[in-house]
Chain A
Amino acid sequence: MTAFIQYTLQGLSTGGFYALSALGLAVIFGVLGVVNFSHGACYMLGAVAATVLLDTLGLGFWAALPLVTLLMFVFGVLMERLLVRWLLKLDPLYNFLLTFGITLVLVDLVKRRYGVSSLPYQVPAGLEGRIDLGSLSLSRYQLFVSVFSVLVCLAVWMLLTKTRIGMIVRASTEDAERSRALGINVGRWVTPVFGFGIALAGLAGVLAAPFRAVNADMGSNFIIVLFAVVVIGGLGSILGAVVAGFLVGLVEAFGQAYADRFSQVLIFVLMALVVLIRPAGLFGKEEAA
């Protein structure tokens, strides 16, 4: 029983991180209809940026958290303005290919500049070690990441549900064409939303730096899991991304505990099941036939 609770705790804490990481992907798909393949690369850039800030300017984790997020927002804005925007009117496949290309370029640029090996990054002071609760124990940093992720998800949720900006974003997410016909300049929201999504990827990257290998390839495997998360949750659904994030975290933890080598496969089995039963995902809107 203790083991069961322990695995659940671990699954939830990984899940929080997945939810946060997938959130930006969901937001961008929702508003722009762009499947942003470069989300993994942006996550990687966030982590690499954190190590570089530490290395060159001596800025630690707590400074990197807001700073890298901001930088990645700017990066996202530029990416949308200079590249993504021009393909928005075409088949979504073009932007998928574009962001795939951006991924390759970013990964290779980072390799060229910082090599292929993992860069060092430490757990921030005060978050080392673990917390023991009776027979249960959790890594202090893991706990921090999940609580922080949940708070960010909550803040994003508040922003989306309680503000006019959020209302417009939700409406545009649900049906951009209709929103235009109702006088909403959806285009004006596209750039900041894209930047916001990329910023979330960068933020996830900074959070990942202390507990994951920071290297140019760190996003390539991760993006696959994130795609599973958003497909399970329903493409473009923000609530879906969060719920599916936790679900995938739990499946992974229990997979690791009881089906070791199949722990990753299980995520995709879950995805296949969800897609079979509800093609649009758990919280996705069914396409009107």
Chain B
Amino acid sequence: MRTKSIAVAATAVTGSLLLAACGGGGPASAGGKISDGKVVLGLLNDQSGVYKDLSGPNSKVAIQMAIDDYKKKYGDKAVAKDIEIVQADHQNKPDIANTKAQEMYDRDKADIILDVPTSSAALAVANQAKAKKKLYINIGAGSTALTGASCNKYTFHWAYDTAMLAAGTASAVVDQGGKNWSIVYPDYAFGQDMNKSFTAAIEKGGGKVQQSIATPFPNDNFATFITKAQSSKPDVIGTMAAGGDLVNFVKQFNQAGLQGKTKLAVGLMFITDIHNLGVDQFQGTQFTDAWYWNFDDQNRAWADRFKAKTNVRPSFAHAGNYSAALNYLEAVQAAGTDKADDVVKQLEGKKINDVFLRNGEVRAADHNVTHDVYLAKVKSKDQVKEDWDLEEIVKTIPAATAYAPPSGACKM
């Protein structure tokens, strides 16, 4: 008790000296052992490109909700009194992500960077986090390398990864009788990763991958790829395309007259994809969702709050950003400081149940955050009862089956 108050006094003095040196300005904040007097959350994601809708600027809203909830919960007792969000657009490019991350950590004094979709960009930021010894929670990217070969002490992977998508979708579809697959995947890091994960999961479940077809990326025309995928008469065609390419694929798949004839499984799909394009195109498509807003009352209540601020329903990435930010602040609270090493200690091994994570656990071994995920099916038009009511949750996939055990590749 004594040491703590001395520390507070010391910080307050140092803080005011610092402010005086800088010529004053800004509220004096003395919230415990908080570096620079405030906690800065950096949101680094796609603010203008293909992944804008599924996360983008609305994730700032989600993070702000986490800050509000944290402040409301702890009030005067909050360790972090002054909390700020900075955001930047990485345009899905690893080089830009790298520079922006550096700027965030150094110039903006960010204590943590959140989100970062696109695997190559995500991995670039992981390196920065390691070098700067600052926290980084990835939500938007799927690469298993974040918790594998490229893992490090300061990097956490919160929402999903390719192995989990494959384990969810592939095993569930194989179980339903979809034994024979043709996989069509874009020929870049994410697509190759997905192809590998899906193939492994299908074969593990007793299914067979008849063909794996690599396509250029990006690509508009899938006509002959689809014909070729269909030529081996598979039960399921699995596409690993994302964003605009996924739309191209699905439209052309439907026009090939395959909708309803051959099962379509999508590797990675966000609710925003379905919403933007309408259920007609995707109807019946199965995929793994990390979170669905209308799954239960708790989700729905949160989604209502989110909608009140953004006028849209949240994707799993929005909820993931909320959960990551909130749990980070909780860890700061528990540690009594925003010092990265102490916060990491708080997070490691933590079991979490919140609006996003069910049976969640921050695995200490590889910093992969495992949780229950869901096999979803796109509703048909007559099943849709309200705006954004687009998914039917076929089943919950328990965390233990959804996530692969920590890979040996991760050396902290």
A and B touch in the complex (CB under 8 A): yes
Complex contact A260–B256 (CB within 8 A): no
Complex contact A212–B251 (CB within 8 A): yes
Contact residues of A between 1 and 36, Cβ < 8 Å to B: 3, 6-7, 10-11, 13-14
Interface flag for B12 (CB, 8 Å): no
Interfacial chain A residues near B228, Cβ < 8 Å: 256-257, 260
26 contacts between A and B (CB under 8 A): A6-B227, A10-B224, A10-B227, A11-B224, A115-B53, A116-B49, A116-B50, A117-B53, A117-B272, A118-B244, A118-B277, A119-B276, A137-B256, A141-B255, A142-B223, A142-B255, A210-B251, A213-B220, A213-B248, A221-B220, A225-B220, A256-B221, A257-B227, A263-B224, A263-B225, A264-B219
Complex: how many Å from CA A194 to CA B356? 54
Complex: how many Å from CA A225 to CA B248? 16
Complex contact A221–B255 (CB within 8 A): no
Complex contact B214–A260 (CB within 8 A): yes
Interface flag for B406 (CB, 8 Å): no
Please give me the residue from chain B that is nearest to A118 by CB atom. B247
Interfacial chain A residues near B277, Cβ < 8 Å: 117-120
Complex contact A117–B276 (CB within 8 A): yes
Interfacial chain A residues near B257, Cβ < 8 Å: 129-130, 137, 139
Complex contact A120–B223 (CB within 8 A): no
Interface flag for A186 (CB, 8 Å): no
A118-B277, A211-B251, A213-B251 are contacts. A14–B221 as well, Cβ < 8 Å?
yes
Interface residues of chain A: helix, strand, loop or mixed (majority): helix
Interface flag for A241 (CB, 8 Å): no
Interface flag for A128 (CB, 8 Å): yes
Interface flag for B323 (CB, 8 Å): no
Chain B 189-232 per-residue mask, 1 if CB under 8 angstroms from chain A, else 0:
00000000000000000000000011110111111110110010
Complex contact A211–B219 (CB within 8 A): no
A128-B255, A130-B257, A265-B216 are contacts. A257–B276 as well, Cβ < 8 Å?
no
Complex contact A212–B52 (CB within 8 A): no
User: Chain A's nearest CB lies how many Å from the CB of B362?
Assistant: 32
User: Chain A's nearest CB lies how many Å from the CB of B256?
Assistant: 5
User: Chain B's nearest CB lies how many Å from the CB of A60?
Assistant: 15
Please give me the residue from chain A that is nearest to B218 by CB atom. A221
Chain A 113-133 per-residue mask, 1 if CB under 8 angstroms from chain B, else 0:
001111110110000111000
Complex: how many Å from CA A129 to CA B255? 5
Interfacial chain B residues near A122, Cβ < 8 Å: 278, 280
Interfacial chain B residues near A261, Cβ < 8 Å: 187, 214-216
Interfacial chain A residues near B272, Cβ < 8 Å: 117
Complex: how many Å from CA A188 to CA B38? 66
Question: What band does the interface of chain B fall in when counting residues whose beta carbon is under 8 Å from A?
Answer: 35 or more
CB within 8 A of B224: which of A116, A118, A129, A252?
A252
Complex contact B216–A264 (CB within 8 A): yes
Interfacial chain B residues near A254, Cβ < 8 Å: 224
A120-B281, A141-B255, A263-B215 are contacts. A14–B223 as well, Cβ < 8 Å?
yes
Interface flag for B372 (CB, 8 Å): no
Chain A 42-75 per-residue mask, 1 if CB under 8 angstroms from chain B, else 0:
0000000000000000000000000000000000
Contact residues of B between 250 and 296, Cβ < 8 Å to A: 251-252, 254-257, 272-273, 276-278, 280-281
**Interface core residue of B49, B244, B256, B273 (most chain A CB under 10 Å):** B244
User: Chain B's nearest CB lies how many Å from the CB of A84?
Assistant: 27
Interface flag for B48 (CB, 8 Å): yes
Complex: how many Å from CA A196 to CA B255? 30
User: Chain B's nearest CB lies how many Å from the CB of A169?
Assistant: 30
Interfacial chain B residues near A118, Cβ < 8 Å: 244, 247, 273, 276-277
Chain A 236-259 per-residue mask, 1 if CB under 8 angstroms from chain B, else 0:
000000000000000011101100
Complex contact A257–B224 (CB within 8 A): yes
User: Chain A's nearest CB lies how many Å from the CB of B137?
Assistant: 24
A117-B53, A128-B255, A211-B251 are contacts. A139–B223 as well, Cβ < 8 Å?
yes
User: Chain B's nearest CB lies how many Å from the CB of A207?
Assistant: 13
Complex: how many Å from CA A110 to CA B15? 47
A10-B227, A117-B276, A213-B244 are contacts. A263–B255 as well, Cβ < 8 Å?
no
